[in-house]
Chains A and B, each alone.
With several copies, the nearest count.
Chain A
Amino acid sequence: MFKIIANREVGPGIFQLVLNYDQLPQNPKPGQFFNIKVSQPGSDDPLLRRPFSIFDFDAAEKKVEFIYRVVGKGTKILSELEAETELDVLGPLGTPFSLNENKGNVHLIGGGMGIAPLYYLSKKLKSRNQKVYLGAANQAELEFFAEKFKGLGVELHLAAMEEKLEIKGSALVLWLNYLEKNIPDYVYTCGPEKMLAAVEKEALKNNIGGQLSVEKRMGCGIGVCLSCSCETKAEDESNKRACVEGPVFGLGEVVLSA
């Protein structure tokens, strides 16, 4: 059983959801997600669960956190739920980021709500030699994330599309600006698929290894429906499910729409 302990707006239309749980089948790892039912018990609408990446996790306090943007019917309803409400939640689900402890210089590149899973990842990575590149529409959307990452003591770079921070532009452009003088050993990225494709292309060109997390429309989140199939790049391989083999894939593993 999961219970809301906080559900508050931390940016324009962006909410922090903190849940308490009784028990979990296993401790969640960075890059995994939970699948949350937002409808009233007994109501058939909205029908499907909503997947959200783990933003933070605290085993001692039995707490799991998400950051979500209100985009449609389900997230609107979720944003109106009060503390103490019990939720039907499945998870942790999916394949997490692998932490690749041996990599020294690591870049994390996050766009929009794609930033959410990178925070828990950043926290869990042993190496503190991390450079984090975040982008969003504007400063207000980034503020909450920026504060949190600052708390981790990592090198942080910020960009916004609508106003000039370090630059006026996307996380991708920000990262590319730094890339020349500063080639990482490994990259982790999450955000719009176009951004993932561009990061992947650039990384592969520079022989940088890495992982990315995709957002696919999901039916079940547990691998039974094949709604989330991702075409693979290897010719002899069949599709992979974003909810089971993903959402984290290696760079070059699945076909992204650029």
Chain B
Amino acid sequence: MPENSIETKQKLTKSELNLSVVMKSQQQTEEKNLNLKNPLITASGTCGNGKELADFYDINQLGAFTTKGITVEAQPGNKTPRIAETSAGIINSIGLENPGVESFIEEILPETKNYTLPILANISGYSEQDFINMAEKLEGRAELAGVEVNLSCPNIKGGGMVFGTDPEKVFEITKKVREIYSGYIIVKLTPNITDITKTALAAEEAGADAVAMINTLSAMKIDIERQQPLLANTFGGLSGPAVRPVAVKMVYQTYKKLEIPILGLGGVQSGSDVIEFMLAGATAVGIGTVNMIDPAAGPRIIEEIKEYMLRHQIKNLSSIIGAAH
């Protein structure tokens, strides 16, 4: 009986578990890989720049940290209300409030010097040139392990279409950034698209080391008492558990088509959700909205992952990547 044979086998203990994952680089050279002690990466915009979480736990316990999105110039962000709650989700329209890339380099980066985990800078632009400018400014910054290129912004000069909805634009921007920036490049894709595998492939072809999916789903809420959109900005992006089934599907669907690793995210609340994304094919998993609700989510989720590994007697977490295929 299988039950018996499992019982008599030597059982793994917590200390033997290996949660580390490697996000390989396209160059396939070891020193360019992103080595994470566990798959958890903070999602941009949901963890400030890290110090706010220090009251709750040491963020060095995580796999990597992604900063709040930065732009070339300082941005005041959108008018408030910037957030609306929906069923099992939130819609945000923060509007990339940030001090601009120069202040980021001068003020925020130095604050990360005590972090021992890899830091990723999330960069957003309204034109191709914006991305080029930021890549130039960030190139060679030793504090950073890499950049996450957020393609969910409208292309202001190109008629307002979101860069990430056009595989050609994804290719062009990725290629430009790749030519300039030598660190790890993650291209973050938008789910507001007919076929996300096309933009994922475009990013891969253009030299991205990894893709991140998903950014938020375009959404809105109406204040029915005032009979107008609740968010000052009318539209916003939906995140949280509501979107997880869409995100998992996109990761699953992309996994077999891509050589480069996937950072999966969207709605992760627990260790089980991280496992779900990894089974779908994610090498690393982002935690976003959950930090807003449970600031100590990081270490809790790590514990939950360990419990799953013990229950299934999985020694190396990386062994389950893509295992649901």
Instruction: List residues of A whose CB falls within 8 A of some B CB.
Output: 25, 37, 44-49, 90, 161-162, 216-220, 222-231, 238-239, 244
A-B contact pairs, 15 of them (CB 8 A): A25-B55, A45-B241, A47-B89, A48-B90, A48-B293, A162-B3, A219-B92, A219-B292, A222-B52, A222-B292, A225-B45, A226-B68, A226-B94, A227-B83, A230-B80
B88 and A45 contact, CB distance less than 8 A: yes
B295 and A44 contact, CB distance less than 8 A: no
Task: Give the tally of cross-chain contacts (CB within 8 A).
Answer: 95
Residues of B within 8 A of A225 (CB): 45-46, 48, 83, 92, 94, 292
Min CB gap B226→A, angstroms:
13
A218, B46: Cα distance in complex, Å: 13
- B265-315 contacts to A (CB < 8 Å): 269, 289, 291-293, 295
Min CB gap B86→A, angstroms:
8
B-side interface size class: 35 or more
CB < 8 Å: which of A44, A218, A220, A239 contacts B77? A239
B83 and A217 contact, CB distance less than 8 A: yes
User: Is B76 positioned at the interface, with any CB of A under 8 Å from its CB?
Assistant: yes
B82 and A217 contact, CB distance less than 8 A: yes
Residues of B within 8 A of A223 (CB): 48, 52
A239 and B97 contact, CB distance less than 8 A: yes
Binding site of A, secondary structure by majority: helix, strand, loop or mixed?
loop
A44 and B87 contact, CB distance less than 8 A: yes
From B55, B80, B87, residue with most partner A Cβ within 10 Å? B80
Residues of B within 8 A of A217 (CB): 80-84
Closest 7 CB pairs of A and B: A220-B292, A227-B83, A224-B48, A44-B87, A44-B88, A44-B241, A223-B52
Other contacts beyond A45-B87, A239-B97: 12, CB < 8 A: A45-B241, A48-B85, A48-B292, A49-B293, A216-B80, A219-B83, A220-B293, A227-B83, A229-B80, A238-B74, A238-B76, A239-B76
A47 and B47 contact, CB distance less than 8 A: no
B76 and A227 contact, CB distance less than 8 A: no
- Closest-by-CB residue of A relative to B1 is A161
A231, B240: Cα distance in complex, Å: 27
B92 and A47 contact, CB distance less than 8 A: no
**B234-274 interface code vs A (CB 8 A; 1 in, 0 out):** 00000011100000000000000000000000000100000
A257, B245: Cα distance in complex, Å: 27
Residues of B within 8 A of A37 (CB): 293
Residues of B within 8 A of A230 (CB): 80
- B6-64 contacts to A (CB < 8 Å): 45-48, 52-53, 55
A47 and B82 contact, CB distance less than 8 A: no
Min CB gap A1→B, angstroms:
14
B77 and A226 contact, CB distance less than 8 A: yes
CB < 8 Å: which of A45, A90, A222, A227 contacts B82? A227
A44, B245: Cα distance in complex, Å: 14
Residues of B within 8 A of A45 (CB): 87-88, 241
Residues of A within 8 A of B74 (CB): 238
CB < 8 Å: which of B45, B53, B77 contacts A229? B77
Min CB gap B160→A, angstroms:
23
CB < 8 Å: which of B80, B97, B293 contacts A47? B293
Residues of B within 8 A of A226 (CB): 45, 48, 68, 77, 82, 94, 97
Residues of B within 8 A of A218 (CB): 83
CB < 8 Å: which of B52, B80, B90, B241 contacts A224? B52
A171, B99: Cα distance in complex, Å: 39
Residues of A within 8 A of B80 (CB): 216-217, 227-230
A223, B292: Cα distance in complex, Å: 9
Residues of B within 8 A of A216 (CB): 80-81
Min CB gap B71→A, angstroms:
14
Min CB gap A188→B, angstroms:
23
- Closest-by-CB residue of B relative to A168 is B1
A229 and B292 contact, CB distance less than 8 A: no
Min CB gap A226→B, angstroms:
5
A47 and B90 contact, CB distance less than 8 A: yes
- B199-243 contacts to A (CB < 8 Å): 240-242
A217, B260: Cα distance in complex, Å: 36
From B83, B94, B99, residue with most partner A Cβ within 10 Å? B83
**B161-186 interface code vs A (CB 8 A; 1 in, 0 out):** 00000000000000000000000000
- Closest-by-CB residue of B relative to A244 is B52
B3 and A47 contact, CB distance less than 8 A: no
- Closest-by-CB residue of B relative to A216 is B80
Min CB gap B92→A, angstroms:
7
Residues of A within 8 A of B47 (CB): 224
Residues of A within 8 A of B84 (CB): 217
A103, B81: Cα distance in complex, Å: 35
- Closest-by-CB residue of A relative to B296 is A90
A213, B97: Cα distance in complex, Å: 23
B90 and A231 contact, CB distance less than 8 A: no
A225, B247: Cα distance in complex, Å: 21
* In the complex with contacts A222-B295, A224-B46, A229-B77, A46-B92 CB distance below 8 A: no
CB < 8 Å: which of B81, B85, B240, B291 contacts A220? B291
Residues of A within 8 A of B242 (CB): 44
- Closest-by-CB residue of A relative to B89 is A47
